[in-house]
Structure 1
C-alpha cells in the first residue's frame, strides 16, 4: 500500500491511528505544495479553508473516536493558491489483534460538481424568486398530482399558509361546483400524461370566489417518465364577467328585437286578410308603426353607445334655456308616462336657468331618466321633476316610487348592460345601456349624474348637475316651416339593390307628391338618370358592383348631377360613415329606416342653381 501511495499522483494519504501525518505524503504534498515538515503531525490542516477549519477538525475527531469509515467535505488550498472543493473518504485499518493501525484515505476533487450544484441552486433560487413575483398563481405537483410547492401569490390570494394547501388539500379552495371537475380532470391527465386545462372558481381570502384559468403541464425525464407537473392559475374573473355581460346583452338584444317583430308580423297578416275591417286595419297599422319606432329607438341606443364609448360624439353647444330641455324631454317621454298613468309633478325655480349645452343630447339624457322612472314604477304612482339652482350649477332631480335599488346596484347603476333584476318575471325590457350613455353625455357637459335609493320597493332618485352658462340664453328660434307646396313636384331617383327597400321608399316619396323612378344597380341608375334627369337622388351605400359612394362621385361628374341633391340612405350611421358620404359628394346622410318627416324636409329644400346644396348630417 505504501509503495502505491508513493508512486501515485492521486491525492491519497496515510495517517497514523491518531490521525496525524508521520510519513511522506507524495499526493497530499504535491497537491498542497507543502513540504513534509509542513504537513507533519496536524500540519496538513493549514491547507484547509479558514471557514471550514473548525468544522472539519470537529468531524474528524468524531470519526477518530468511532474508528468508523469517514467522509468529510471541505475546501483545501491547492499549490497555486486556489481553494478546491474536496470530498475526503478514509477507512480505518486494523492489525491481527483488531487494534487500529492507521487510516488510509483519498481526496476527490469535487469542484466542478460543486460549481454546477451551486449554479443549479442559484438558478433554482432565481426561478423561485421569479415565480413568487408573478401575478399568477403557480405550483409544482409530484407525479401523482399532489402539490409539493406553491408560490407566494397563492398564499396572498387565499390567505392560507403553505402547509395547508400542499398535497391535495388546496383543492378545498375550489368552489364546490368546480372542485370535482378539477380533481377528476387532473387525475385523468396524470393517468394519460397529458396537459390539462380548466376554468374554475377559486376562493379568495375574503371568501369571494373568482374565475381562474388553470393549466397543468407534465415534465418528463429523458426516458419518458413524468417526474413532476408545473401549473399556473390566471385570474380571468373580470374578462369572464365582461363576457357574461356581453352574452346576457346579446340575449337581451335578441329578445328586445324579437318582441316588436311578433306584432309587426301579426299586423301584416291582418292587413292581408280580406275579411279584416277598416278598424282592424287601422289598429294593425298603428301597431306596426309603434313597434317599428320602438325598434328604431333600440338601434339608436346602440349607435349612441358606440359613438359615446369611442369618443366620437361632437356636442353642438349653444345657449340653451334649461326649461326648454325639460319641456322637450317631458314631451318625448309623455307616451311612457301616460301609459303607466303616472301623475307628473314638475317644480321649476322662479329664475330661468341657462346652459351652454347641446340641447338634443341633454334632452336625450333627461328623457331616458324619465322613461326609466315610468318603466320601473307601478302604475299610477307619481313622478317628480325638481329643478333647483346651486352655486354654478343647475340641479335636476327625477324621483319615482318604483322598485328601488339595493346598495350594490347603486354602485353599478350606470355600468353598461346593468339591470337590477334579469329574471324573466322581473323583466322590464330595454338593453340596460341608457344610463351608461346618459352618464357619458352629462360628463361631456362637465356635469355629474348620481343614483340614490332607500332600498327595494322604495323608489329611486336620479340627480343631474350641469354647469350654468356664464351668459344669459337668448330666445330659441321658432321654426316657421310649414307643409310643402307639392304642386311643384320633384323628380326623384331611388337606387337600392334591395328591391323591397327601393319599392317602399319610392311609395313613400310618391305619397309626398313627387315623381319617382327606381333602379337596383349603379349602372342602371346612371342610364336611367340620362333621360330622367333627377333633381334628387336617394342612394343606398352598400350595393354590389358599384357602391353608393362611387355612384355619387360619378353623378357629380354629369351635367344633371352637378346641381342635384344626393341623399345617402344606409344602415351605416357612425360619424366616420357620414364623413365618408360627404367626401363622396352626398348632401345628406340618412340612417335607415328614414321616416317620411326626414324625407319631406329634404325634398322641400330648394335645389341650388349654381352648385350643391349645403350638406347636413
Structure 2
C-alpha cells in the first residue's frame, strides 16, 4: 500500500494540473505539488479550510454549496470558479471531484482536480461579446442579413429580415424562409444557392420575397462563404436589399429606351423625307424665280420701249401710269427675291468665323450708301465674336435700310450700340423717325405686314420677317421699344 501510495503521489505531482483528495466528510487531506507551486500556499496554510482563502469572494458561496451537496449526496462534483494564483491574479478553473468507494459502495475518499481554463474562458467571453456585437450591428443594419451553416440550412436572421417577413426566428430557420419566395423564382433561387454552396463561391441572385403585408418585393441577395481562422468552411453569410423601386425604374427606363429607339427611327425617316422635300423646294424656288422674273423683266423693258416709241403722244397721266406699272413690276421682283431669302433662312449653313462687327458695319454702310442728310453713329465699341458673317450682315443691312426708308423726314439720326450680356451681345439700331405704336410691335415681324400703303413706300413686307427668322435661327431674339412719334429702337441678341 505504501508503494502504491508513493506511486500515486508521484503520478499526481507530475500532472500539470491541481490534484487533491478529501476524506468522506469533505475535509481536504492531500494536495499535489502543483497546488503549492500555483497558489504559493504552504501545507500548513492549506490544511483544513485553508483552501477557501484563495477562492474569489464572488464564487466562494456557490463553490461551498455545490461541494457540500456533492458530499452529502455522494454525487459527481463540477464547478467553474476563480481562485488566486501566487502572483495575486484570479484565474478561472474548472473543478471536478468523484467519490472513491469500497466494495460495499461506501465512500472512503474523494479525488478531485482543478484545471486552469482562464484562457479558454476569456476566449469564450470574447467570442460571446463579438457575437453580441455582430448581432447588435446586424439587427440595426439597413439591410436584411442571414447566416447559414455547413448543412446549407439557415440558422439565423437579423431583425430587419424578421420585420420584413413578419415571422419569428423559429419559422424562418432551416428552409422555412423559402416558403415566402415567389413560386416563379423559387427554382432558380435554390439552384443558384446550391451551385454556389458546392463551389464555395460568392453569389448574387434576384428574386421576389413576400412581405408581411402580402406584397411580393424584389430583393438582391448576395451571399459570401465563411471560413474559420484555420481555413475550414463554416457556411454562408448573406445580405438582401429591397430593389423594387429601382427595378420599376429600370423597367420604365427600358420602355422609354425602346420608345426612343422607335422615335429615333421615325425621326430619321422624317428627316430624310424633309431633306428630300427641301431639295425639291429649293429646286422649285430656283425654277419659279427664274421663270417668274424673266417675264417681269420683259414687262418692264416693254413698257419702257413703248413709252419711248410714243413719247410725243403720251400725256403726263399716261407717263405716271407707266412708271407705276414698272414700280409694280420691280416690287413683285423684290417680293420674289424676299420670299427666296425667307425660305432659305436656317437651311443654308455658312461657316462660323471671327467677325469684327465694327468692320462688318462699315461694309454694310458702304453697300447701302445712305443719303448724306442722314447721320449714322456707332456709339459704343463693337465686339469681335465667332459668328456666321452673312446672316449678321443681312440683319444689320435690313434694320439700317428700314430706318432710312421709313423715316418721316429727309434727314434723320440713326445710332447703333452693343452691350455685353455674358453669353451673348445685345445690339440696338435706333432712329428718330415716326416710331411704332405698341400694338404693332409684334405685327411688323409678320411676313407681308406693312404699316404704310405699298403705293406710298415700295415695300414687300418681308424684310423684318427675314430678320426675325435669321436671329431666332441663331438662338437670339428681337424686340422693339417705341412709341408713336418718338422714334423706334430694334433690340436683338446674338450668341457669343
TM-score range, shorter chain: 0.5 to 0.7
> Could you tell me how far apart the structure 2 residues matched to 1:231 and 1:153 are?
13
For 1:235-314, what aligned pairs fall within 5 Å after superposition?
235-256=242-263, 258=265
For 1:476-491, what aligned pairs fall within 5 Å after superposition?
none
Q: Offset at 1:18?
A: 3.1
For 1:330-369, what aligned pairs fall within 5 Å after superposition?
none
Secondary structure of the residue that 1:76 maps to in structure 2? strand
1:599 aligns with 2:430: no
| Larger deviation, residues 514-523 vs 236-245 | 514-523
> Could you tell me how far apart the structure 2 residues matched to 1:111 and 1:254 are?
72
> Could you tell me how far apart the structure 2 residues matched to 1:78 and 1:488 are?
119
Q: Give the gaps of 5 or more residues in structure 1.
A: 274-484, 490-506, 536-551, 566-580, 589-594, 607-611
Secondary structure of the residue that 2:151 maps to in structure 1? coil
Q: Offset at 1:77?
A: 3.2
**How many correspondences in the alignment?**
346
Q: Offset at 1:73?
A: 1.6
1:44 aligns with 2:74: no
Secondary structure of the residue that 2:469 maps to in structure 1? helix
> Could you tell me how far apart the structure 2 residues matched to 1:534 and 1:251 are?
52
Secondary structure of the residue that 1:615 maps to in structure 2? strand
For the Cα contact (< 8 Å) 2:345–2:466, is it kept in 1? no
TM-score by length of 2: 0.55
Residue of structure 1 equivalent to 2:493: 615
Q: Offset at 1:164?
A: 0.8
Q: Give the gaps of 5 or more residues in structure 2.
A: 1-7, 281-330, 366-382, 397-419, 428-464, 481-489
1:138 aligns with 2:16: no
For 1:460-499, what aligned pairs fall within 5 Å after superposition?
none
Residue of structure 1 equivalent to 2:127: 120
Counterparts in 2 of 1:9 and 1:130: CA distance versus 1, 3 Å: closer
Q: Offset at 1:586?
A: 5.3
Secondary structure of the residue that 1:22 maps to in structure 2? strand
For 1:521-600, what aligned pairs fall within 5 Å after superposition?
522=353, 554-555=385-386, 583=422, 585=424, 598-599=468-469
Encode CA deviations 1:247-296: one digit per residue, 9 max, x unaligned: 223333444555566667668779999xxxxxxxxxxxxxxxxxxxxxxx
> Could you tell me how far apart the structure 2 residues matched to 1:508 and 1:170 are?
77
For the Cα contact (< 8 Å) 1:553–1:585, is it kept in 2? no
For the Cα contact (< 8 Å) 2:424–2:493, is it kept in 1? no
Residue of structure 1 equivalent to 2:327: none
Highest relative contact order (Cα 8 Å, sep 6+), 1 or 2? 2
| Pick aligned residue for 1:174 from 181, 186, 196 | 181
For the Cα contact (< 8 Å) 1:220–1:227, is it kept in 2? yes
The Cα RMSD (Å) is 5.0
| Pick aligned residue for 1:510 from 308, 326, 341 | 341
1:199 aligns with 2:206: yes
For the Cα contact (< 8 Å) 1:512–1:600, is it kept in 2? no
TM-score by length of 1: 0.46
Counterparts in 2 of 1:587 and 1:178: CA distance versus 1, 3 Å: farther
Secondary structure of the residue that 2:174 maps to in structure 1? coil
Secondary structure of the residue that 1:17 maps to in structure 2? coil
Q: Offset at 1:124?
A: 1.1
Residue of structure 1 equivalent to 2:82: 75
| Pick aligned residue for 1:106 from 90, 108, 113 | 113
> Could you tell me how far apart the structure 2 residues matched to 1:509 and 1:604 are?
22
Counterparts in 2 of 1:516 and 1:84: CA distance versus 1, 3 Å: closer
For the Cα contact (< 8 Å) 1:553–1:584, is it kept in 2? no
Residue of structure 2 equivalent to 1:231: 238
For the Cα contact (< 8 Å) 1:534–1:564, is it kept in 2? no
Encode CA deviations 1:356-415: one digit per residue, 9 max, x unaligned: xxxxxxxxxxxxxxxxxxxxxxxxxxxxxxxxxxxxxxxxxxxxxxxxxxxxxxxxxxxx
| Pick aligned residue for 1:212 from 214, 219, 223 | 219
